[in-house]
Amino acid sequence: MNVPIDDRLIDAAARLISGAKKLAVLSGAGISAESGVPTFRGSDGLWEGHRIEEVATPHAFRQDPALVWRFYNQRRANLTTIQPNPGHHALADLERRQFPDGRFTLITQNVDGLHHAAGSERVLELHGNLRRTRCSRCELVADQGLVPLEERPICLECGGLLRPDIVWFGEMLPPTIWEQAAIATATCDAFLVVGTSAVVYPAAGLISAAKQAGAAIIEVNLTETEASELADIALHGPSGEILPQLARRLQSSN
Ligand code: BJW
Ligand code: ZN
C-alpha cells in the first residue's frame, strides 16, 4: 500500500532535519505495528480481557505473578518471529548516514528490541526490554533471550522471584537512561516523534521539553495525537512508509 503523502510536507520535514546539528527521536509502539507487534491503546490492545494497566503494575505482579508472567511469555514468544520493518531501518540509516558521531539519539518507549535489531546504535530504552529479567530481591539483571520462562522463574543467585525488566505504571524510569534522554532532548535542534499516543509520562513530557528548548518538532503517526499541537510538521500515515520516504529525501538533498 502506498499512502499519498504531500511531497511538500516531506520536503519541509526533510529541510528541518537536514538543518539540524543534532537529532533526537522518540518512538512508540506504532513504529513496530507494521512488524506485527500490537500497540497498547488500539482495538487489539487487550490481553485475555485485561487492560495493560491491569497487568503492567507492581501491584498486579504481587497479586498474581503467574498471570503477569503468562502475559510476558506470550509477548516474548511473539517476538521470536518478528522482524524490524522499513521504518526501523530508515531510522538506522539516518543515524549512520546523516547523523554519525553521536549527533543522533533514539529514545524509545518500546520494549521489543527492534531498533537494535535494525542496526540503530544510540538507543535509549526508557521502559526496559522484554528479553531481560530482574530479580525482585537482589536486583540482578539478566538477558534471557526469548526462551519461555516458568510462570514463577527464580533467581539462581538468591532464590528471589524474577520479574520482567520492564518499567511498570507507578515505577521510576531507569535514572541514567532518563538523564541521557533529557540531555538529548534539551540539546537537539530537531525532535522526531514516531508512533506514540504521547499519553504516558514522563516520556511524553520530552516532547514539550524539546519544544521549550527550541527544537523543531516533527510528528509521524497514523492519526492526530496529544503531541500534534506541539508539532511544527505532522506527517499522517504509516511510519513504515513515511520514514523511508523522509530518509530518501534527506539523502537526495545531500
Ligand atoms: C502508528 C502506526 C503506524 C499505530 N505508523 N503510527 C496523570 C498525569 C501524568 C502522569 C500520570 C498520571 N497518572 C499516572 C501517571 C503516571 C503514569 C502515566 O503516565 N499514566 C498515564 C497513562 C496517565 N506513568 C508512570 O507510571 C511512569 N512512571 C512514573 O511516572 O514514575 C513516577 C511516579 C511514580 C509513582 C506515581 C506517579 C508517578 C511509568 C510508565 C511506564 C509505562 N510502561 C508501559 C508498559 C510497559 C509494559 C509492557 O510493555 O509490557 O509502556 S505503558 C505502555 O504505554 C508501554 C508503552 O511504552 C507506553 C506508551 O505507549 P505508546 O508507545 O505511545 O503506544 P500506544 O498504543 O499508546 O500508541 C500507539 C500509537 O501509534 C498511536 O498513536 C497510533 O496512532 C500509532 N500508530 N500504527 C505510525 N503503522
Ligand atoms: Zn536474586
Domain of residue 187, residue span: 7-37+84-127+172-253
Specify the pLDDT at position 54. Answer: 83
Residue 70 shares a structural domain with residue 138: yes
**Residue ID of nearest Cα to ligand 1 atom 80:** 238
Polymer length of the chain? 254
Least Cα distance to 76 among 164, 2, 159, 152 occurs for: 164
Summarised one tens digit per residue, pLDDT across range 81-127 is: 999 999 999 999 999 999 999 999 999 999 999 999 999 999 999 99
Binding site membership of 120 for ligand 1 (Cβ less than 6 Å): no
Helices (H), ranges, the chain: 7-18, 30-33, 52-55, 58-63, 65-79, 86-93, 114-118, 175-187, 205-212, 239-252
Please tell me the distance from the alpha carbon of residue 225 to that of residue 221, in angstroms, as a whole number.
Answer: 8
Binding site membership of 221 for ligand 1 (Cβ less than 6 Å): yes
Q: Which amino acid belongs to residue 158?
A: C
> Where a domain ends, among 166, 181, 216?
166
Summarised one tens digit per residue, pLDDT across range 164-201 is: 999 999 999 999 999 999 999 999 999 999 999 999 99
**Catalytic annotation, residues:** 127
Summarised one tens digit per residue, pLDDT across range 24-74 is: 999 999 999 999 999 988 766 666 677 888 889 999 999 999 999 999 999
Residue 243 shares a structural domain with residue 144: no
User: For residue 98, is it within any domain?
Assistant: yes
pTM for the model stands at: 0.96
Q: CB within 8 A of 130, min separation 6: which ones?
A: 72, 75, 76, 79, 111, 112, 113, 146, 164, 166
Q: Cell digits for 218?
A: 516533527
Binding site membership of 200 for ligand 1 (Cβ less than 6 Å): yes
User: For residue 99, is it within any domain?
Assistant: yes
Q: How far is the CA of 172 from the centre of ligand 1 (A)?
A: 13
User: For residue 47, is it within any domain?
Assistant: no
Cβ atoms of 166 and 71 closer than 8 Å: no
Please tell me the distance from the alpha carbon of residue 254 to that of residue 241, in angstroms, as a whole number.
Answer: 21
Q: How far is the CA of 140 from the centre of ligand 2 (A)?
A: 6
Instruction: Name the β-bridge partners of 193.
Output: 26, 219
Tally of domains in the chain: 2
User: Do the bridges between strand 128-135 and strand 141-143 make them parallel or antiparallel, or are there none, so unpaired?
Assistant: antiparallel
